[in-house]
Amino acid sequence: MVDAVLLSACRTAIGTARRGSLRDTDAFELAAVVVREAARRSGLPPEAFDDVVLGESLAGGGDIARHAALRAGLTHVPGLAHNRHCASGLASVATAAAGVRAGMDRAVVAGGTHSSSTAPVARRRIPGTDDWQDPWMAPTHAPTPEAPNDDMGVLVGWNTARLAGLTREEMDAWALRSHERAVRAVDEGRFTDEIVPVPVTGRDGTASVFDTDEHPRRDTSAEKLAALKVLHPEIEGFSITAGNSSGVNDGAAAVVVASSDLAAEHGLTPIATVRSWASVGVDPVETGLAPVAAIRKALDRAGLGLGDVDLFEVNEAFAAVAVATTRELGLDPERVNPFGSGCSLGHPIATTGTRMVVTLAHELRRRGGGTAVAAMCAGGGMGAALVLTV
């Protein structure tokens, strides 16, 4: 069986939704930027590509991957829009790797794109009536008071904190560290090689280039985080705030997944190998704990143990998720989220999984090799993990 290798990995900088640099750049434009650049950086000729797979969530339906393929000049390539909620970008990389490992594809652009700033709002007619539910979001599971579909602060944040016995102080401390690490990474240029600049035009007609993550807060502090109001003061003991939650963001990321023999034929050196991946389902109440099972399953499939991993990124959909996963698996916190994650860098929903793969692949190369795991929860009681080696 051939290996599924990465020949390129890139992303946009992450914008803060509705008031940031990408507020007028939609998911289609963001996708075109990264698909085009990932294909170019791979060193493969256009005719070598078999497919484009893009994670999307809340983009309004349609096949955004085919749209991006055409924009990138890959007219002969079809497209697959992938939706696994927060794990959509990670699922796209896994799907591409599966096609390559099976011998059905030899080169696929995989990624995710998300614009919270321009996401359409859906409405539907309520069955049995002439009334409309507006706005409306397609449910992932039958809601209960403990596991609502439309409130991630309760479904993921609060349930995780409650089940894992986490204090607000622990979650705020993790969020503060996340911002500090992300700011340091930006200042040290850790993300420079992975970011593809995005041309933007302001509403006043001014042209500029967006190439630096803008969501990490340089001025945050333990005192500022502690002063924030909880999202649900009516719930006794509620400890989730905007400060220990992920951001609302815009951005896109893409990688080229290819067969190792195709890379050899073209004299190309892979930047990483996709060793394994896994997706899991849990009771929706336990959504935020799903990365624990996903990490174990993915590592088992790779024949590796937790001690074999040099770096983890566990997406901070809420700080509670990363804290609980780190504690449950007994991980060294210094190996988890070394450059921040959702609380600081932000969480453009369908993009984040691929963004994590991009960042981890670049960091492993910078370190001269190693093993990394990207993991996350996803709405409705899902979790996903992917193992990379360099």
CA distances from 39 to 72, 148, 307, 349 (A): 8, 40, 34, 23
DSSP code per residue over 94-159: HHHHHHHHTTS-SEEEEEEEEETTT---EEEEPTTSS-EEEEE---SS--BTTB-SS-HIIIIIIH
For residue 110, give the nearest of 339, 354, 348, 375 by alpha carbon.
354
343 is catalytic: no
377 is catalytic: yes
Amino acid at 340: G
Contact predicate 159/287, CB 8 Å: yes
For residue 83, give the nearest of 106, 60, 103, 104 by alpha carbon.
60
User: Chain centroid to CA 119: how far?
Assistant: 17
86 is catalytic: yes
Catalytic residue among 82, 114, 179, 347: 347
Distance CA 366, CA 73 (A): 31
Distance CA 77, CA 97 (A): 17
CA distances from 19 to 15, 67, 314, 346 (A): 9, 26, 27, 14
* CB within 8 Å of 133: residues ≥ 6 apart: 123, 124, 125, 126
Contact predicate 37/196, CB 8 Å: yes
Catalytic residue among 67, 86, 114, 215: 86
> Where in the sequence numbering do the catalytic residues fall?
86, 347, 377
